[in-house]
Amino acid sequence: MSDQQMTIHLKVWRQKGPNSKGELVDYTMDDVNPHMSFLEMFDWLNEKLMKQGEEPIEFDHDCREGICGSCNMMINGQAHGPQKATAACQLHMRQFSDGDTIYVEPWRAKAFPIIKDLVVDRSAFDRIVEAGGYVSVNTGGAVDANAQLIPKKEADIAFDYATCIGCGACVAACPNSSASLFTGAKIAQFAHLPQGEPERKERARAMVDQMKEEGFGDCSNFAECEAVCPKEISITAIAEMRREYVKSLFD
Amino acid sequence: MAQTKEELFDAKIPEGPLQEKWDNHKNSLKLLNPNNKKKHHVIVVGTGLAGASASASLAELGYNVTAFCIQDSARRAHSIAAQGGINAAKNYQNDGDNIWRLFYDTIKGGDYRSREANVYRLAQVSNNIIDQCVAQGVPFAREYGGTLANRSFGGAQVSRTFYARGQTGQQLLLGAYSAMMRQVEKGKIKMIPRQEMLDLVMVDDLARGIITRDLETGEIQRHAADAVLLCTGGYGNIYYLSTNAKNTNASAAWRCHKRGAMFSNPCFTQIHPTCIPVSGEYQSKLTLMSESLRNDGRVWVPKKAGDDRHPSDIPDDERDYYLERKYPSFGNLVPRDVASRNAKYVCDEGRGVGPTKMAVYLDFRDAIKEQGLDTISGKYGNLFDMYEKITGENPYEVPMRIYPAVHYTMGGLWVDYNLMSNLPGLFVLGEANFSDHGANRLGASALMQGLADGYFVIPYTLGDYIARNDIKPVSTDTPEFDQAEKEVRERISRLLDNKGNKTVLDFHRELGKLMWDYVGMSRNKEGLEEVIGKIRDLREEFWKDVYVPGENETFNKYLEYAYRVADYMELGEVMARDALDREESCGGHFREEYQTEDGEALRNDEEYNFVSCWEYKGEGEKHDIHREPLEFEYVTPTQRSYK
Ligand SMILES: Cc1cc2nc3c(=O)[nH]c(=O)nc-3n(C[C@H](O)[C@H](O)[C@H](O)COP(=O)(O)OP(=O)(O)OC[C@H]3O[C@@H](n4cnc5c(N)ncnc54)[C@H](O)[C@@H]3O)c2cc1C
């Protein structure tokens, strides 16, 4: 692994506030270490900008381990960048070459308005969960955890859907800005668990309706969402969601 | 209403035998009738496991909850990153586990610096947590027969850890978050994300509200309630490099401290032995590699200092498998603190490896030879992939490089058995309090504690507080709110107007290095005395020379960062003072002067069998220390040995 410093040309979306006009601004970094993470390169750039009295670039981040779902960067037109199953915070600069030009933009979707620079408002996702992404049990009084057996196969399928980190890459990658993978994953998780059974229909209906209300588009099976999902959630989630939704209409 | 000093150290431990204390206590707590609960309003700051579980449970009972978090969604709290699992005394494996054993392991793991009654209650409610989470649809790992699976974790001889692949924290938090969102939908919880608490407001000596900053618009807001629950997590980030999420901070707790809440055991920090080492100056955080790797990986460094050969060119007789050599019976599986300290020692001797020389090898060569590549990849495949993603090296071929990193803070705000701080009406839950882990936390017990506090303790104890004190609504239009808001605004302006020459990150990195070098894995009197002065100097320099960009009235992460680091500058000093005061070694607190002949932590139960409680005395003044004595009625503190 080479430790040679690289020169990277960045074109970064800068936008002062929700109602300002944004533009791509050029920055050249001539001391990028290949072992830096993508976000560390931004930290580094921000340090330089501040030392020159310029405003740093705002971007969301927190765990930097690919699990909190905070980071959201369109990197060269790909949500989270070129590495498969990798959120932007886990992407490292060794994936790029000396002299590369990299475009960095925020998620773009009507339902994700821009707040500043690369930071967007994803509260629509919370409202979709609020509509029904839960099992209605109160604290206390639950039966023994082993009272109900769940076949490992079903539990594993449910788990695969449950790994969604809510980052919104699926929406950003979708030509229709659909939130079907996000919504479908939650519906499908519960559809594979006995705990989800009692509210199965209401849940599917309420979550899908809310998704539409938030201004996300429909799914046309492009499968771009699956390709960029850092947790590799399968688009079978969307098929499951559709099935659940249709079933919910006929009862 | 304010408590006297004697009352402060009344932890309000209920009477009766250990096993009956919690039940007795619940029977004696005052109840609020459902109609009354509807009239009460609770502020919950933080939506990690502790805050999300508390918010949901209280809202279900009828309280009106307003919850706050820093991230753009409650679901992104730092708890999301927990990997390994959560303990419970279910004894599903029939391997002899029970509540007593979980209690005993936790109190022993904490090196006998926690309260028996609290830890026993934790073990008692652990089983309810698993039931509750499963009922919510948390997809824990299962066996083919459909029952729940368990794994074993450090510090225990039974298999009691429940897990969801390497994403246990995520699944538990999503469970609690979904329970919360259900109450948001019902209108019982008002969830306000991207809103940071910047001060606590005391009215008539009761905690009655908070001042917050809207992180999108910079708007300063006032919120009043009948009680404030602080669930804001730990302060490991003070070390700059840690396994904690970047936004974790001490500020909410520190603001409460400055309003009178005692800070307990601040020097008790956990350093995790197996993290991916620092690769360069640009490094922003450290990634944990599960401690399960030490089941098959062998830890070594070259015998010779400065040996630069490729690891595979170093023959076996020139390698020092130092844990196996020093601890023949536990070998690579010694507890976290012992493994961490020994890695530091060999690196201090110049025998560290890799480009920075601040790492040791964790080598799977022999395990692969013995068990085959497939077996090893079956056990650790996802960890090996993660390691390769971060370092660009393939651990199947080259040994992993690991080094200890700050991971968890056992210290926090003082609370009594009811989880109430010494400020009436201020409750503290989860990693933010000091309560259950003593001087060292066992793996898989932080998730347990956060959820125990939120689901099963606070719903009982909060009602008692409100019922007993006949709390009436307050307005935010009072001199106390005016004053707190004014102070918050002044502080922000002072930071923004400073326009110095060094960035917040420059200062944070410097502070982190001081803390790591002097208040890290191994501490001594001389160093601690020295570092207190250094921290004070750095703090002074910070206020003179820090540069904070932009303005208040916009999204401004570096402004947030600045006020958090400003608080670390004060907390760091108290951590050092606490470490200096505690002239013994216990758990994560290792004082070089106090060790056994074998180099192990040497406790001093005669003199230091207490919880330290630090009291704020005013800007720039030295803190006062108070001590809550610990009593051991049911277990006998013993000296650990892993030879
Ligand atoms: C990498 C890693 C792995 C871990 N693995 C395990 C494990 O396997 N098992 C285990 O038991 N433990 C584990 N832990 C420890 C455990 O995850 C934490 O101790 C626990 O999750 C803390 O939960 P909490 O609810 O107290 O706080 P957090 O989850 O830290 O939540 C804090 C909340 O407070 C909010 N907040 C903070 N300050 C403010 C403010 N001023 N205003 C408003 N909101 C604020 C934040 O936004 C957040 O919502 C691990 C920790 C790490 C770092």
B133, closest residue in chain A (CA to CA): A145
Predicted confidence at residue B598, as pLDDT, reads 78
**Does any domain span residue A52?**
yes
Q: Pick from B65, B78, B189, B457 the residue to mutate for probing ligand 1's pocket: most ligand atoms within 8 Å of its CB.
A: B78
- A residues 88-107 lying closer than 8 A (beta carbon) to B: 90, 92, 94
Question: Between these two residues, A35 and B165, which has the higher pLDDT value?
Answer: A35
**Does any domain span residue A181?**
yes
User: Does pLDDT of B378 surpass 80?
Assistant: no
Asked if residue A126 and residue A100 are part of one domain, the reply reads no
| Amino acid identity at B275 | C
Asked if residue B138 and residue B110 are part of one domain, the reply reads yes
Asked if residue A72 and residue A147 are part of one domain, the reply reads no
A3: confidence class by pLDDT, cuts 50, 70, 90 = confident
For residue B391, give how far its alpha carbon lies from the nearest alpha carbon of chain A (Å): 7
For residue B182, give how far its alpha carbon lies from the nearest alpha carbon of chain A (Å): 6
Q: What is the CA A37 to chain-centroid distance, rounded?
A: 18
Tell me the CATH number at A152: 1.10.1060.10
For residue B628, give how far its alpha carbon lies from the nearest alpha carbon of chain A (Å): 33
Distance (Å) from CA B585 to ligand 1 centroid: 26
Does the CB atom of residue B437 touch ligand 1 within 6 A?
no
Q: What is the CA A164 to chain-centroid distance, rounded?
A: 8
Q: How far is the C-alpha of B121 from the C-alpha of B227, rounded, in Å? A: 23
Asked if residue A80 and residue A164 are part of one domain, the reply reads no
Asked if residue A97 and residue A43 are part of one domain, the reply reads yes
**Does any domain span residue B581?**
yes
- Mean pLDDT over A136-149 rounds to 97
Predicted confidence at residue B2, as pLDDT, reads 45
Asked if residue B260 and residue B204 are part of one domain, the reply reads yes
Asked if residue B487 and residue B459 are part of one domain, the reply reads no
Mean pLDDT of chain B: 95
- Give yes or no for a contact between A202 and A191, defined as CB atoms under 8 angstroms apart: no
- Of the candidates A33, A67, A196, the beta carbon closest to that of B282 is on A33
Q: Pick from B431, B441, B491 the residue to mutate for probing ligand 1's pocket: most ligand atoms within 8 Å of its CB.
A: B431
Domain of residue A10 covers 6-105
Distance (Å) from CA B256 to ligand 1 centroid: 18
Asked if residue B374 and residue B300 are part of one domain, the reply reads yes
Q: Whose CA is nearest to atom 5 of ligand 1?
A: B82
Residue B336 known to be catalytic: yes
Asked if residue B489 and residue B398 are part of one domain, the reply reads no
- Mean pLDDT over B360-387 rounds to 90
Q: How far is the C-alpha of B558 from the C-alpha of B547, rounded, in Å? A: 9
Minimum-distance ligand 1 atom for the alpha carbon of B445: 11
pTM: 0.97
Instruction: From residue A147, give the alpha-carbon distance in Å to each of A142, A143, B525.
Output: 10, 7, 55
Q: Pick from B55, B65, B70 the residue to mutate for probing ligand 1's pocket: most ligand atoms within 8 Å of its CB.
A: B70
CB contact under 8 A, B139 and A126: no
Last residue of a domain, one of B385, B407, B429: B407
**A239 touching B (Cβ < 8 Å):** no
**Does any domain span residue A17?**
yes
Predicted confidence at residue B4, as pLDDT, reads 54
CB contact under 8 A, A46 and B558: yes
The DSSP bridge partners found for residue A105 are A74
Last residue of a domain, one of B442, B469, B496: B469
Domain of residue B324 covers 271-407
3-state SS, one letter per residue, for B60-72: HHCCEEEEECCCC
Nearest Cα residue to B556 out of A204, A58, A126, A19? A58
Residue A236: other Cβ atoms inside 10 A: 15
Last residue of a domain, one of A75, A105, A135: A105
User: Does pLDDT of A58 surpass 70?
Assistant: yes
Tell me the CATH number at A44: 3.10.20.30
User: Could you tell me whether strands B546-547 and B502-503 are parallel, antiparallel, or unpaired per DSSP bridges?
Assistant: parallel
For residue B329, give how far its alpha carbon lies from the nearest alpha carbon of chain A (Å): 34
Asked if residue A142 and residue A98 are part of one domain, the reply reads no
Asked if residue B501 and residue B519 are part of one domain, the reply reads yes
**Does any domain span residue B54?**
yes
Asked if residue B257 and residue B217 are part of one domain, the reply reads yes
B562-617: per-residue pLDDT in tens? 999 999 999 999 999 999 999 999 999 999 999 988 788 899 999 999 999 999 99
Does the CB atom of residue B454 touch ligand 1 within 6 A?
no
B67-92: per-residue pLDDT in tens? 999 999 999 999 999 988 999 999 99
**Does any domain span residue B638?**
no
User: Does pLDDT of B544 surpass 50?
Assistant: yes
| Amino acid identity at B458 | I
Q: How far is the C-alpha of B411 from the C-alpha of B414, rounded, in Å? A: 9
Does the CB atom of residue B121 touch ligand 1 within 6 A?
no
Question: Between these two residues, B337 and B604, which has the higher pLDDT value?
Answer: B604
Last residue of a domain, one of A71, A105, A139: A105
Nearest Cα residue to B267 out of B535, B582, B512? B582
Asked if residue B236 and residue B138 are part of one domain, the reply reads yes
Tell me the CATH number at B548: 1.20.58.100
Query: What is the domain count for chain A?
Result: 2
- Give yes or no for a contact between B50 and B431, defined as CB atoms under 8 angstroms apart: yes
Does the CB atom of residue B332 touch ligand 1 within 6 A?
no
**Does any domain span residue B567?**
yes
**Does any domain span residue A114?**
no
Minimum-distance ligand 1 atom for the alpha carbon of B252: 41
A2: confidence class by pLDDT, cuts 50, 70, 90 = low
Q: How far is the C-alpha of B208 from the C-alpha of B1, rounded, in Å? A: 13
Asked if residue A155 and residue A37 are part of one domain, the reply reads no
Asked if residue B292 and residue B251 are part of one domain, the reply reads no
Asked if residue A186 and residue A230 are part of one domain, the reply reads yes
**A199 touching B (Cβ < 8 Å):** no
- Mean pLDDT over B239-253 rounds to 97
**Does any domain span residue A117?**
no
**Does any domain span residue A1?**
no
Does the CB atom of residue B78 touch ligand 1 within 6 A?
yes
CB contact under 8 A, B146 and A150: yes
Asked if residue A208 and residue A101 are part of one domain, the reply reads no
A9-25: per-residue pLDDT in tens? 999 999 999 999 999 99
Does the CB atom of residue B611 touch ligand 1 within 6 A?
no
A144, closest residue in chain B (CA to CA): B131
B121-165: per-residue pLDDT in tens? 999 999 999 999 999 999 999 999 999 999 877 667 789 999 998
- Mean pLDDT over B532-547 rounds to 98
Minimum-distance ligand 1 atom for the alpha carbon of B52: 25
Residue B372: other Cβ atoms inside 10 A: 11
Q: Where are the beta strands (DSSP E) in B126-236?
A: 161-162, 189-192, 195-203, 206-214, 220-224, 227-230
Q: Where are the alpha helices (DSSP H) in B157-294?
A: 168-185, 251-258
Asked if residue B431 and residue B378 are part of one domain, the reply reads no
- Give yes or no for a contact between B432 and B46, defined as CB atoms under 8 angstroms apart: yes
B603-622: per-residue pLDDT in tens? 999 999 999 999 999 998 99
**Does any domain span residue A69?**
yes
Tell me the CATH number at B171: 3.50.50.60
Predicted confidence at residue B247, as pLDDT, reads 97
Predicted confidence at residue B128, as pLDDT, reads 98
Q: How far is the C-alpha of A212 from the C-alpha of B286, rounded, in Å? A: 40
**Does any domain span residue B623?**
no
Query: What is the domain count for chain B?
Result: 3
A87, closest residue in chain B (CA to CA): B389
| Identified catalytic residue from B160, B294, B298, B336 | B336
Asked if residue A238 and residue A128 are part of one domain, the reply reads yes
**Does any domain span residue B635?**
no
Does the CB atom of residue B47 touch ligand 1 within 6 A?
yes
**Does any domain span residue B185?**
yes
| Amino acid identity at A176 | N
- Mean pLDDT over B194-198 rounds to 98
Q: How many residues would you count in chain B?
A: 643
Minimum-distance ligand 1 atom for the alpha carbon of B255: 41
B411-445: per-residue pLDDT in tens? 999 999 999 999 999 999 999 999 999 999 988 99
Minimum-distance ligand 1 atom for the alpha carbon of B212: 42
**Does any domain span residue B636?**
no
Asked if residue B113 and residue B30 are part of one domain, the reply reads yes
Last residue of a domain, one of A78, A105, A132: A105
CB contact under 8 A, B137 and A64: no
Asked if residue A92 and residue A134 are part of one domain, the reply reads no
Q: Whose CA is nearest to atom 19 of ligand 1?
A: B446
Tell me the CATH number at B328: 3.90.700.10
pLDDT-wise least confident of A109-123, B284-298, B447-461, B473-487: B284-298
Asked if residue B209 and residue B88 are part of one domain, the reply reads yes
Tokens 């010779």 belong to residue = B304
CB contact under 8 A, B147 and A149: yes
- Of the candidates A64, A135, A142, the beta carbon closest to that of B284 is on A64
- Of the candidates B78, B134, B191, the beta carbon closest to that of A142 is on B134
Predicted confidence at residue B1, as pLDDT, reads 38
Distance (Å) from CA B233 to ligand 1 centroid: 5
**Does any domain span residue A113?**
no
Q: Whose CA is nearest to atom 3 of ligand 1?
A: B82
